Structures are given as C-alpha cells and as structure tokens.
Amino acid sequence: MASEEEANASVAAEGKKPRHKGKHDKPKPWDDDPNIDHWKIEKFDPSWNEGGMLEVKKYLQEAWPIVKGALKEFGVACELNLVEGSMTVSTTRKTRDPYIIVKAKELIKLLSRSVPAPQAIKILNDEMSCDIIKIGSIIRNKERFVKRRERLLGPNLSTLKAIEILTGCYILVQGNTVAAMGSWKGLKQVRRVVEDCIKNVKHPVYHIKELLIKRELAKNPALAHESWDRFLPKFKKKNVKQKKPITKEKKPYTPFPPPQQPSKIDLELESGEYFMSDKRKSAKKWQEKLEKQSEKAEENKRKRDSAFVPPKEETATPYESTKSTSNNDEIADMAKSLKKKAKELRKNEAQENVKLESYIASNEGSRPKKKHKSSKSK
C-alpha cells in the first residue's frame, strides 16, 4: 500500500493523473469538494415524498359516488378507506333484501379486479351472477402462461369478443384472474373455455365452433329432447411425438466388483507373442496386413463385377404360360378368318367384273346398225 501511495504521489507531483486499478474507480468531481461533508446524515424533509406511501386509485375515487348511489337504493351503506386501502359494505335499517349483502360483496370483488363501475353495478340485479376464475396457479411456467392468456384474448381481442357474444357474458382478463358476469349457464361455458385454454386441452376457436352449432340447434324445437353429440365436431389433439430419452438398462446389483480385464502383456503371454523375437513379430504384423489387403481387394472386385452381372429372366408361371398360349391361338384364328374373308371378297369382286363385261358385250351385239341415207342425184 505504501509503495502504491508513493507512486501516486510521485505521479501527482509530475502533473499526471494517478492510475486506478478498478474500471469504474475514477475520481468524481465531488470527491475533492471541501464544501461537501460526506459523513453528514441529513434530516428527512416531507417535501421529498409529497404523495406519501399510499397508492391512491383514481378510478375508485371517481366512481365511488356512482357505487354509493346504486347501493343506497337497496339500503346498503358503503365506505372507501384510502388509508387502509379497503372497501366495506354494511346493512342498514332500510335494508329489506337479505341476499343483497352477498351481491354487494361480489360488487366489491369485481371493483378490486378493475371491472368498470357501470358494469360492476349490474351484479346487483337478480338475473346477473359473477365468477372469478383463478388462472395463475394452473400453470407454473411464466412464458407458457402469458402465451396461453394471449391465445384466450386473440388478435385485437377478437376471440374474447366472440366468446362474450356466444355466452352472453361480460369477460375481463386481468393479471392472474378472469372476471366474468352473466347467467349461470353462460358462466359455466366461460369457465370451461378459459380452463381448457390455459391447460392446453382445447383451443378457444374450437369451443366457439361448438357454441355456434349449439346456438343453431337450440332454434329447432324438434331437437330439444335429443342428444346433440352427433352434430358436434370431434377434435382430436395432435401432438408431435417427442423422442424418448435413451435409458440404459439397469444391471442387477452385485456386491462384488467386476472381474479385472487382462492386460496387453497377459494377452501376449496367452498367444505366445511375448516370447517371439522382434523380427518374427514384424513379419507376423506384415502377414496380417497383407491378408487384410487381399480381403479388401476381393471385396472391391466383387462390387465392380456386380455391375456386369445380367439380371435374372422372369420365368412365367404355368397359369401365365397357358394364358399366353390361349392368346396366341386366338390371334391365329383371327388371322385365318380375316384371310378367308379377304379371299371371298376378291372372288365376289371378280364375279361382278365378269358379269359387267358380259352385260356390256351383249348390249353391243343386240344394238341395231343405223342405215345411212344416200343422196340421189337428180
């Protein structure tokens, strides 16, 4: 250390900057400032953190009067505590419906999952129900979870909108939960679609196809008391088979170690090479080498000669031979019949020519000769 300090002091005396070992261990502009006390602990000033430690949710503050007015109609009191970060509902003397407190509890649950207040207030109606599906604990891998959650939403939320239209439910995917509002029948369908998508059992598009077919079948009253399984499509999951890891067969356990393998000297002693001279050993190696070369040469010659071996002629079976002979006989018969017909045609043509010639000759003989009138001289 003393040597390093002396070296730095000598460098500083020369007017050069001292060298530092670390990459980021460089002199800062405030290191040599005499006005800064590096060991002083300053007192905390509240102006440094005017917002405080509370995370005020503006949308709840803005929407709370609407929620309060909606609950007041049913005689339920509500309170928003921003200090504790809680929402409480309680019955009053004006409350008549005993089940409304359960509905109010569901309203708080929906508001805590970022459902807009105008939509969440609809849960107070008797026909409306809600279901909060926890999807975060279904799959552990974060990347797969995000990918399957995006699959549920679809491009530009098209898949989610299609599910909302077919089920008649309002669906909101927020973080690790899916909040749904609607009828019990629709909520059951939504839960099935969401869980099958996250578990990678079936794609949401196939569920949408099934819901469309069911929607059309419901319009036909004749099919009200029949099973619709024959109309619904059956989708088979096609997964690419992965290669099975090669597992070594486990040998039966024995407490004894494996037998020791013979060394090179042991093998030479067994064969008798150990006692041979160097000349005989080299001669033996040369002989083995020549034998290998001759075997290789014979194999190469066999491969070259195989290209010149003529292929085997196909020998006809008895059935094929009889078939070919019968075909040859048929062809010979046809040739004979054609020759016979040709001869008959020639004879007929010759007879017709003879008849024509005799007819022409007879006509010429029977024709009377014209008498030429001689002109008398007066």
The pLDDT, as a whole number, for residue 355 is: 61
Task: Give domain status of residue 336, yes or no.
Answer: no
Q: Are residues 109 and 157 in the same domain?
A: no
Q: Are residues 64 and 163 in the same domain?
A: no
Domain that holds residue 275: 261-290
Nearest Cα residue to 71 out of 47, 51, 49, 95: 95
In single-letter form, the type of residue at position 240 comes to: V
Domain with residue 166: its CATH number is 3.30.1370.10
Q: How many domains does the chain have?
A: 3
In the structure, what pLDDT confidence band is assigned to residue 42 with cuts at 50, 70 and 90? confident
Task: Give domain status of residue 285, yes or no.
Answer: yes
Q: Is the alpha carbon torsion for 32, 38, 42, 47 positive or negative?
A: positive
Condensed to tens digits (0 to 9), the pLDDT of residues 162-199 reads: 999 999 999 999 889 999 999 999 999 999 999 999 99
Name the more confident of 245 and 376. 245
pTM: predicted TM-score of the whole model, two decimal places: 0.50
* Residue whose tokens read 């000769």: 369
Q: Are residues 183 and 230 in the same domain?
A: yes
DSSP secondary structure code for residue 339 in this structure:
H
In the structure, what pLDDT confidence band is assigned to residue 365 with cuts at 50, 70 and 90? low
In single-letter form, the type of residue at position 220 comes to: N
Axis crossing angle, helix 204-218 with helix 158-167, rounded to the nearest 10? 30
Report CA 164 to chain centroid distance, whole Å: 26
Condensed to tens digits (0 to 9), the pLDDT of residues 71-85 reads: 999 999 999 888 888
Q: Are residues 171 and 204 in the same domain?
A: yes
| Average pLDDT estimate for 24-32 | 76
Condensed to tens digits (0 to 9), the pLDDT of residues 205-256 reads: 999 999 999 888 888 888 888 888 888 888 776 666 777 778 888 888 888 8
Q: Are residues 61 and 100 in the same domain?
A: yes
Task: Give domain status of residue 369, yes or no.
Answer: no
In the structure, what pLDDT confidence band is assigned to residue 319 with cuts at 50, 70 and 90? low
Mean pLDDT, the chain, rounded, equals: 82
Decide if pLDDT at 2 tops 50.
no
Task: Give domain status of residue 162, yes or no.
Answer: yes
The pLDDT, as a whole number, for residue 40 is: 83
Rounded-to-integer distance, Cα 187 and Cα 180, Å? 7
Query: 3-state class of 65 per DSSP?
Result: helix
Instruction: Yes or no: say if 103 and 67 are a contact pair by the CB < 8 Å rule.
Output: no
Condensed to tens digits (0 to 9), the pLDDT of residues 276-309 reads: 888 888 998 999 999 999 999 999 999 999 888 8
Name the more confident of 38 and 254. 254
Q: Are residues 120 and 167 in the same domain?
A: no
Task: Give domain status of residue 80, yes or no.
Answer: yes
The DSSP-derived string for 105-122 is: HHHHHHHHTT--HHHHGG
